Amino acid sequence: MNLILPQNILLVDKPSGITSFDCIRILRRKTGIRKMGHAGTLDPMATGLMIIGVEAGTKRLHEFLKLDKTYEAEILLGVQTDTGDVTGKVIRHGAGNMEQAEEFSIINYQFSKNDPISKISKEEIEKVLMGMVGKLELPVPAYSAIKRGGEALYKKARRGEKVDTPIKTMEITSVEFLGLHILPFVKGVPHSNEGRDLKSSALADLPVSSTAWQVGSDTSFCKGGISLPVIKARFDVTSGTYIRSLAEDLGRRLGVPATLAGLRRTRIGEFRVEDAQKIDP
């Protein structure tokens, strides 16, 4: 590792599938430096920029926590999960609500021409996205580190307890609609398609056993499989904004369930992911 900045700051491009603290463990092993910390976290599914403090740089990490950030998000329309992303259990699909169901997989659901999702256009998506710019009052995800009663919400959620998610002010300073593609699923797993116009590596890399897409090895989605639309958008946001909350809010505005399918952080303040060091687990 030779990209430690003069202020004892290291920029890292986190890969998908590991935690933010896993990055620290990897860097400690590779550099031999024990005193390290990170400014803010990324979900295991997410990729992108992290700021790492090394030695004396750990004392400066608080300076970076309140900086604005830029994310590129992939938002899957047609399903909503308990975690707010594709690693969770489906609680809504299509126009239905599955909260009363003990167990559910979208393997049992066939989207029809009458579903609201089939009537959404690119123009409507772009218009709705632009209408989200500004301050928003949104619930934080149940699976988050926000504390209630001295305990992180995600710990309560993991125990199956009902979580009272607080409302938080979040702000989008600008948004750009980057495209829309249809993501086909085969045997419950996103199916790679050379013709689509953006990558969904975060989806493709997810272990089937821990996702909402798990199905039997000899079963496919419905008889001919299903395809779901994925929106890609770039969000400039203030600190403390949850992109999972934005994804669900976008779905509400479009009249359909939605969940975060992929996330990449490309900027923190003046720091950019292009200048970051890639690390291998």
Contact 267, 235 (CB under 8 A): no
Distance between CA 10 and CA 241 in Å, rounded?
Answer: 23
Told to judge if 43 belongs to the known catalytic residues of this protein, a careful annotator would answer: yes
Q: Which pair of tokens denotes residue 96?
A: 């239905």
Active-site residue identified among 13, 22, 43, 275: 43
Q: Which pair of tokens denotes residue 262?
A: 């992929």
Distance between CA 188 and CA 268 in Å, rounded?
Answer: 35
Pairing of strands 147-148, 151-152: antiparallel
3-state secondary structure the chain: CCCECCCCEEEEEECCCCCHHHHHHHHHHHHCCCCEEEECCCCCCCEEEEEEEEHHHHHHHHHHCCCCEEEEEEEEECEEECCCECCCCEEEECCEECCCCCCCCHHHCCCCCCCHHHHCCHHHHHHHHHHCCEEEEEECCCCCCCEECCEEHHHHHHCCCCCCCCEEEEEEEEEEEEEEEEEEEECCEECCCCCCCCCCHHHHHCCHHHCCCCCCCCCCCCCCCEEEEEEEEEEEECCCCCHHHHHHHHHHHHCCCEEEEEEEEEEECCEEHHHCEECCC
Would you please indicate which residues are annotated as catalytic (active-site) residues? 43
